[in-house]
C-alpha cells in the first residue's frame, strides 16, 4: 500500500484541480480525511499524520522519521432556488422572467490530497503537500430564470506546499512553508437572447504559511498557524456571439489569509478533546472587476465579502488499540452578506456535524474514514447589481454532505 500511495502523488498533482466549496465562501477545508470526523477541530495541534503540513507545518516534528499520507474527499453540495419575482433585463424586454428554478445548482466534487514528511535529523524535518485549498462549482439548467446573471461558475485550484519544521526544544516547534498555487476560473451566463457569454481566466502565484506548536503539558498541546493571502493577475478571454463582446480580459484577485488557533487535551486514556478557532480574511475581496485590454470594465461582481470566524469542537474515543472513533461539531460563518448574495455563490452560515473512524492494522499504517453533514441556513436573494442582467428575486435551500478516506503510513 505504501508503494501504491507514493505512486499516487504525481496523479494528485493533475487531479488536485477539482473541488467544490463546502466551507464558507469558496474555501475547501478538506485537506485530509483524518480531521473530517472531528469537523477539523484541533487542526493546527493534532499532528497525527503528514497532512499537518497544510494545517501547521510545525507538527511534522511529532511524526515518525518518514511518513506519507494520501486521501480523497467527495463533496456534494445542494443549492435549490425558488423564484419570487425574478425579472428579465430591461434591455431585453423586462417583465417577469421565463424559465424554471434552475434545478439543483450543486453537484459532486472531488478533492484529492497527498503529503510526504521526513526527518533530516532529530530536530529538523522537511515535507511537501499537494491539495486544492479553494474550489467552487454552481451550475444551473440552461434556461433558468436567472440565466442572465449566471449559468455556470467554476473555480479550480492546485496548491503545492514544500515545508520545513524545527524542534526548538521538548516544548516548542516551529514550521514554515511556501505555496505555489494555480487558480483557474470559468464563468458562463446568458448575455443576450440566444447568445452566451463565457469567461475563462487563470494565473499562478506564490504565498506562504507558518506555524508553531507548544506542548503545554504531557496531556495538552496548543497550535497556531497562518496562511498568507495570494495575489493573482488573472488573464483570459471572453467568448460570445454578441457583436463586440469577445476579447481578452484581466482581473485582479486576492485570495484570503487564514489564522488558526487549536488545542488538544487528553482527558484520560480513552478520550481526547479538541478545539479550533479560525479567522479568514474574506474582506480582501470587496469586488471583482473584469477588465478588457482597452481598460473598459466588461463586468463587475460586487461581492463585498466580510471577514469570517469558524469555531469547532471535537472528541476522539480510543475504542481499542486498533480503532478510534471521532466526533465533531462546528459553526462556520459565511463571508456573503444578504444584500450582496450572488447566484454564482448562494452561500450562508452553516453548522457541521461530523463522525469518523480510524483503523490502525499495524503501528505503521492507518486508515481514516469520515462523514460530515452541513446544515446551511436558508437564504434570500434580491440581486440587481447590473441592469443588463435582470433582477433575481427568491430564496435558496442549501446543504452539503462530505465523505472522506485517507491512508497514512510511516516507514
Determine whether domain 2-403 maps to CATH 2.40.160.60.
yes
pLDDT at 267 over 50: yes
Please state, rounded to an integer, the average pLDDT across all residues of the chain. 93
Determine the average pLDDT of the residues in 239-255: 94
Taking the C-alpha atoms of residue 402 and residue 19, their distance in angstroms, rounded to an integer, is 12
Q: How many helices (H) and strands (E) does the chain have?
A: 2, 20
Task: Look at residue 301 in the predicted model and tell me its pLDDT.
Answer: 86
Task: Look at residue 405 in the predicted model and tell me its pLDDT.
Answer: 98
pLDDT in tens, 5-16: 444 444 444 444
Task: Look at residue 385 in the predicted model and tell me its pLDDT.
Answer: 77
Which cell numbers in the block locate residue 296? 473598459
Q: Is residue 79 within 8 Å of 346, Cβ to Cβ? A: yes
221: Cα within 13 Å, side-chain hemisphere: 25
Least confident of 5-9, 103-107, 228-232, 264-268: 5-9
| pLDDT confidence bin for 20, thresholds 50/70/90 | low
pLDDT in tens, 307-341: 999 999 999 999 999 999 999 999 999 999 888 89
379-383/258-266 β-pairing: unpaired
pLDDT at 22 over 60: no
Taking the C-alpha atoms of residue 302 and residue 403, their distance in angstroms, rounded to an integer, is 33
Backbone angles phi, psi at 174, to 5 degrees: -130, 155
Taking the C-alpha atoms of residue 211 and residue 47, their distance in angstroms, rounded to an integer, is 12
DSSP secondary structure string for all residues of 253-279: EEEPPEEEEEEEEE-SSSEEEEEEEEE
pLDDT at 129 over 70: yes
pLDDT in tens, 51-68: 999 999 999 999 999 999
Which cell numbers in the block locate residue 65? 522519521
Work out the angle at residue 382's Cα, subtended by the Cα atoms of residues 376 and 386, and round it to the nearest 5 degrees: 125
pLDDT in tens, 349-397: 999 999 999 999 999 999 999 999 999 999 999 998 788 899 999 999 9
Task: Look at residue 93 in the predicted model and tell me its pLDDT.
Answer: 86
Considering the entire predicted model, what is its pTM? 0.92
Determine the average pLDDT of the residues in 159-182: 98
Which cell numbers in the block locate residue 131? 491539495
Exposure string (b/e) for 285-312, b if CB count within 10 Å is 16 or more? beebebbeeeeeebbebebebbebebeb
Amino acid at each position: 500500500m505504501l508503494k501504491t500511495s507514493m505512486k499516487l502523488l504525481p496523479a494528485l498533482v493533475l487531479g488536485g484541480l477539482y473541488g467544490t466549496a463546502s466551507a464558507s465562501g469558496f474555501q475547501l477545508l478538506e485537506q485530509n480525511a483524518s480531521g473530517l470526523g472531528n469537523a477539523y477541530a484541533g487542526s493546527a495541534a493534532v499532528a497525527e499524520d503528514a497532512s499537518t503540513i497544510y494545517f501547521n507545518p510545525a507538527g511534522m516534528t511529532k511524526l515518525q522519521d518518514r511518513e506519507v499520507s494520501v486521501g480523497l474527499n467527495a463533496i456534494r453540495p445542494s443549492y435549490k432556488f425558488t423564484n419570487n419575482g425574478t425579472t428579465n433585463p430591461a434591455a431585453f424586454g423586462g417583465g417577469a422572467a421565463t424559465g424554471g428554478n434552475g434545478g439543483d445548482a450543486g453537484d459532486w466534487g472531488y478533492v484529492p490530497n497527498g503529503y510526504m514528511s521526513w526527518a533530516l535529523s532529530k530536530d529538523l524535518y522537511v515535507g511537501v503537500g499537494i491539495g486544492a485549498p479553494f474550489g467552487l462549482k454552481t451550475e444551473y439548467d440552461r434556461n433558468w430564470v436567472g440565466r442572465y446573471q449566471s449559468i455556470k461558475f467554476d473555480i479550480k485550484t492546485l496548491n503545492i506546499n514544500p515545508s520545513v519544521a524545527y524542534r526548538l526544544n521538548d516544548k516548542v516547534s516551529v514550521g514554515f512553508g511556501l505555496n505555489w498555487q494555480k487558480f483557474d476560473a470559468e464563468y458562463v451566463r446568458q448575455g443576450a437572447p440566444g447568445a452566451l457569454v463565457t469567461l475563462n481566466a487563470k494565473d499562478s502565484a506564490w504565498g506562504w504559511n507558518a506555524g508553531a506548536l507548544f506542548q503545554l503539558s504531557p496531556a495538552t498541546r496548543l497550535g497556531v498557524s497562518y496562511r498568507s493571502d495570494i495575489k493573482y493577475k488573472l488573464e483570459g478571454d471572453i467568448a460570445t456571439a454578441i457583436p463586440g463582446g469577445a476579447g481578452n480580459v484581466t482581473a485582479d484577485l486576492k485570495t484570503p489569509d487564514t489564522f488558526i488557533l487549536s488545542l488538544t487535551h487528553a482527558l484520560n486514556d480513552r478520550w481526547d478533546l479538541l478545539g479550533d478557532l479560525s479567522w479568514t480574511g474574506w474582506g480582501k475581496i470587496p469586488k471583482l472587476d473584469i477588465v478588457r485590454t482597452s481598460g473598459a470594465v466588461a463586468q463587475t461582481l460586487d461581492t463585498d465579502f466580510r471577514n469570517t470566524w469558524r469555531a469547532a469542537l471535537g472528541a476522539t474515543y480510543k475504542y481499542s488499540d486498533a480503532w478510534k472513533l471521532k466526533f465533531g461539531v462546528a459553526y462556520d460563518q459565511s463571508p456573503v452578506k444578504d444584500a450582496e448574495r450572488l447566484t454564482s455563490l448562494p452561500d450562508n452560515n452553516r453548522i457541521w456535524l461530523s463522525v469518523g473512524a480510524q483503523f490502525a492494522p499495524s503501528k505503521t499504517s492507518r486508515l481514516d474514514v469520515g462523514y460530515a453533514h452541513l446544515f446551511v441556513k436558508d437564504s434570500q436573494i434580491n440581486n440587481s447589481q447590473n441592469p443588463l442582467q435582470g433582477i433575481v428575486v427568491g430564496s435558496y435551500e442549501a446543504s452539503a454532505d462530505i465523505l472522506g478516506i485517507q491512508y497514512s503510513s510511516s516507514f
